[in-house]
A and B are shown apart, each in its own frame.
Chain A
Amino acid sequence: MNRRDSIRSLFLGSMAGGLALESCVNVSEEVLAEKVWTYQYGRTPAEAAYDKKLLNSDFLNGSEKNTITRLANLILPPNEKGTVEQAGVTEFIEFMSKDFPSLQTPIRGGLMWLENHCNRHFGNSFVNCTEDQQLSTLDQIAYPDPEAKAQKQEVQFFSLMRNLVLTGYFTSEVGIKELGYEGNQPNVWDGVPEDVLADHGLSYDEDWMPKFVDQSKRNDLAQWDDEGNLIS
């Protein structure tokens, strides 16, 4: 079915909701268009409008974002493979805090715990503490007690931030490359590589081999005999 047919059938029932941009306060049309364009991934009009609303509103303030960026750099220090900045981790956490509003209080409250702790012990805000002071703070909250029924608030906060930083990183372009995921592209699967099979002491059963697709004939039109045996 070509595009024109699609459009014709679409109009028979009702008008399709277009990508009409809803007006947004405080944001110029250019900025709005830019953010929408960045995230073009098959949204329905309602979903696109929801994304736009979140993208063009703020939850975290500038100092909170700075703290998160510093924290993220301690959780996952930069190396030659990539940085949390390249992975857009802070922006991702900002977005998720609006997408999952239940994250807002744990994040904001946790950041306040961090500031309070640093002020009390070091007379400074978290980002202005020395790296040693920052790390000594993390040492107190980065290791959940495996025996405890419930973890302390600050430990939960750190686990949440660790999760968000790591998932933000490993779902980014640099993170996926570092992880070594090689898919999401057209290819022809023809089984586990021989050396991998050998490493694992596994092989394909001889009596299974005839059941598998012969990839050299994948383009030949399928034909069967009356018994259902493939003959092409």
Chain B
Amino acid sequence: MQIIENEKKYDVVIVGSGAGGGMATKVLADAGLKVAVIEAGPFFDPANPEQQTQLKWPYQSPRRGAGTTRAFGEFDMAYGGWEINGEPYNQIGDSQFDWFRSRMLGGRTNHWGRISLRFGPRDFKGKDRDGLGENWPIGYEDIKPYYDKVDKLIGVFGSKEGIYNEPDGFFLPAPKPRLHELYYKKGAEKAGVKVIPSRLSILTKRINNERGICFYCNQCSRSCSVYGDFSAGSCLIFPAQKSGGQVDLYVNSMVREVTVNEEGKATGVLYINKEDRKEYRVSGKVVILAASACSTARILLNSKSITHPNGLGNSSGMVGKYLHDSTGSDRMAFVPELMNRKRYNEDGVGGMHLYSPWWLDNKKLDFPRGYHIEVWGGMGMPSYGTGFNPNDLNKYLGLKVGGYGNGLREDVKKFYGSVMGMSGRGESIALESNYCEIDPTTVDEFGIPVLRFHYKWSDHERKQARHMHDTFEEIIHNMGGTVLGSKPGADRDYGLLNPGRIIHEVGTTRMGSDPTKSVVNEFEQLHDAENVFIVDAGPFVSQADKNPTWTILALSWRTSEFIIQELKKQNI
């Protein structure tokens, strides 16, 4: 089988169409460059009625929303999940890293929580504070102008709070909290936990005439058909095309490797067309990898050549190392005062209306770094699982559990909206011993060697999770609620979820000024190949307790401007 050459020569070939790839597409196409975007999944447009799940009812599906085909329920807009048929990955020893992939234009931006937090000044210099991990080679002041531009281009609601490590931005106004969130606020503030309006990339106010405004259906995870929330297709790639940009999308195209010339410079990428299963090559002056931290590491490690025998960009041996995800642990509460609620539409935006940023000083704690608390609950749309164990909560009221008959209807209605929950999402310490690498024993259905993972939490993360549960319990008691489930102990890592479960995996191609200890420089340019850049979360030196997307976007914009300058100067 021959490799089929694409005659077209691009300025830039971008692998992946999520946050990082989408932003690079927009900035580079707006600058007049010829761009090819290679996406492993199908085309997706949230406005396409054939693909739309927004505003569908559970009874429009034979499984009523169950998660058989999509990990977060079948209306969720991620084509993929922690397991994908034909695309396996393996573990080393008893590691348990769960790798979430979404194969579609826009990637995981179509379903994500839209939590859009800037990293603060302290987040770039963790090592200065506690001696752990590594500092970033850049600081907040380097990235601030790009955060500002991202806020204005894409839109994020929030409130100016003046908290040093939670920098304010150019915010749209915040929606008013829901009832259970006011309960949370009362309970949290009594426990000394700071509460502020959340910061989500959802349009509570018009930002331009191309995108609609939020109409409060709570379904951002289904991707908004009026483009009222951020996804890379609706906010970056489509606008780039619409304004006349030279953008060619190659969908259902699985990149195998980056090809290089004799000098070791990238010439383009090789991909497998999923439909005809043939190999194609597309050429460009610059290659940008934005396939997600682990997929990008995989592509680099699979790109072996005479000049790059350990894989492209891997002369340091650092590709795949320092993989880290946010810590996460959750707890639920039953709030008797929220029984028999008056009914009204409280869907609100797709996500919480308020949250708690990290509020403590680690000097007084037995773990480094912090976490934020997300809140959930309310009278949401029923889905598969609604009505399960319909009156288990009766045991807290001294009433009978189980039975049958019309009393069950009343039980379900009585408890509707009375359960809420909290999720802690925190910063872990990046370790060289947590990594992904190529598994020479396994290929995917496209014949591409797959990844295997080695990942162990340390006591830093376990102690943080223990602190989360102490906090959750105090808040729940303050709200007049009953804590559900038993407190997870040491045997369960204090409730710490498996690495990969929070889907903030970063660090596999980390940024640094020393080429022996890092993969890219501060402009996300490979130390080993000057025309290859990485604009996903691979270059993150540390993942703060924030969510990575806003930082991916800001860094990708900064890198794209650098690429434009370097091309002008004919440096690459």
User: A residues touching B (Cβ–Cβ < 8 Å)?
Assistant: 1, 3, 5-6, 9-10, 12-17, 39-42, 44, 47, 50-51, 54-55, 74-77, 79, 81, 88, 91-92, 95-96, 99-100, 138, 142-144, 146, 159, 162-163, 166-173, 175-176, 178-193, 195-197, 199-200, 202, 204, 208, 211-214, 217-222, 224, 228-230
Chain B: residues with Cβ within 8 Å of the partner, total of: 109
Given A12-B248, A143-B401, are A183 and B69 also a contact pair (CB < 8 Å)?
no
Give min CB distance, B176 to chain A, whole Å: 4
Whole-angstrom distance between the alpha carbons of A1 and B244 in the complex?
A: 11
Are A219 and B408 touching (Cβ within 8 A)?
no
Residues on A with C-beta less than 8 A from B169 are 228
Given A13-B249, A15-B275, A230-B171, are A173 and B57 also a contact pair (CB < 8 Å)?
yes
Q: Which residue of the partner chain, among B55, B157, B405, contacts A184 with CB atoms under 8 Å? A: B55
In the complex, whether B443 has a CB less than 8 A from a CB of chain A is no
Residues on B with C-beta less than 8 A from A175 are 382
Q: Which 4 A-B pairs have the closest CB atoms?
A: A166-B387, A191-B176, A13-B250, A183-B347
In the complex, whether B252 has a CB less than 8 A from a CB of chain A is yes
Whole-angstrom distance between the alpha carbons of A115 and B412 in the complex?
A: 29
Chain-A contact segment, one of B44-52, B288-296, B456-464, B499-507: B44-52
Residues on A with C-beta less than 8 A from B276 are 14
Q: List 21 A-B contacts (CB under 8 A).
A: A3-B48, A13-B273, A14-B251, A39-B61, A54-B62, A75-B404, A143-B402, A144-B402, A166-B387, A166-B388, A167-B382, A167-B387, A169-B387, A171-B383, A179-B382, A185-B55, A187-B215, A211-B197, A212-B197, A218-B213, A228-B169
Are A92 and B62 touching (Cβ within 8 A)?
yes
Are A196 and B344 touching (Cβ within 8 A)?
yes
Residues on B with C-beta less than 8 A from A159 are 389, 402
Whole-angstrom distance between the alpha carbons of A22 and B348 in the complex?
A: 41
Are A204 and B250 touching (Cβ within 8 A)?
no
Given contacts A92-B64, A189-B176, A230-B173, 8 further A-B contacts (CB under 8 A): A10-B42, A14-B251, A51-B62, A181-B382, A192-B182, A196-B344, A212-B174, A219-B205
Are B217 and A185 touching (Cβ within 8 A)?
yes
In the complex, whether B384 has a CB less than 8 A from a CB of chain A is yes
Q: Which residue of the partner chain, among A76, A189, A224, A229, contacts B216 with CB atoms under 8 Å? A: A189
Given A42-B51, A184-B381, are A171 and B205 also a contact pair (CB < 8 Å)?
no
In the complex, which residue of chain A has the Cβ closest to the Cβ of B77?
A42
In the complex, whether B160 has a CB less than 8 A from a CB of chain A is yes
In the complex, whether B395 has a CB less than 8 A from a CB of chain A is yes
Q: Which residue of the partner chain, among B57, B157, B205, B388, contacts A176 with CB atoms under 8 Å? A: B57
Are B60 and A39 touching (Cβ within 8 A)?
yes
Q: Which residue of the partner chain, among A10, A91, A168, contacts B43 with CB atoms under 8 Å? A: A10
Whole-angstrom distance between the alpha carbons of A170 and B160 in the complex?
A: 41
Residues on B with C-beta less than 8 A from A142 are 402-404
In the complex, whether B218 has a CB less than 8 A from a CB of chain A is yes
In the complex, which residue of chain A has the Cβ closest to the Cβ of B58?
A171
Give min CB distance, B294 to chain A, whole Å: 23
Residues on B with C-beta less than 8 A from A169 are 387
Interface 1/0 per residue, B275-287 and A, CB below 8 Å = 1100000000000
Are A76 and B250 touching (Cβ within 8 A)?
no
Are A179 and B416 touching (Cβ within 8 A)?
yes
Give min CB distance, A67 to chain B, whole Å: 15
Whole-angstrom distance between the alpha carbons of A55 and B171 in the complex?
A: 48
Considering the complex, which residues of chain B in the window 113-171 have a beta carbon less than 8 Å from any beta carbon of chain A? 148, 152, 155, 157, 159-160, 168-171
Most A-side CB within 10 Å, residue of B155, B174, B346, B389: B346
Considering the complex, which residues of chain B in the window 188-236 have a beta carbon less than 8 Å from any beta carbon of chain A? 197, 204-208, 213, 215-219
Residues on B with C-beta less than 8 A from A15 are 275
Whole-angstrom distance between the alpha carbons of A165 and B207 in the complex?
A: 45
Give min CB distance, A115 to chain B, whole Å: 18
Give min CB distance, A135 to chain B, whole Å: 8
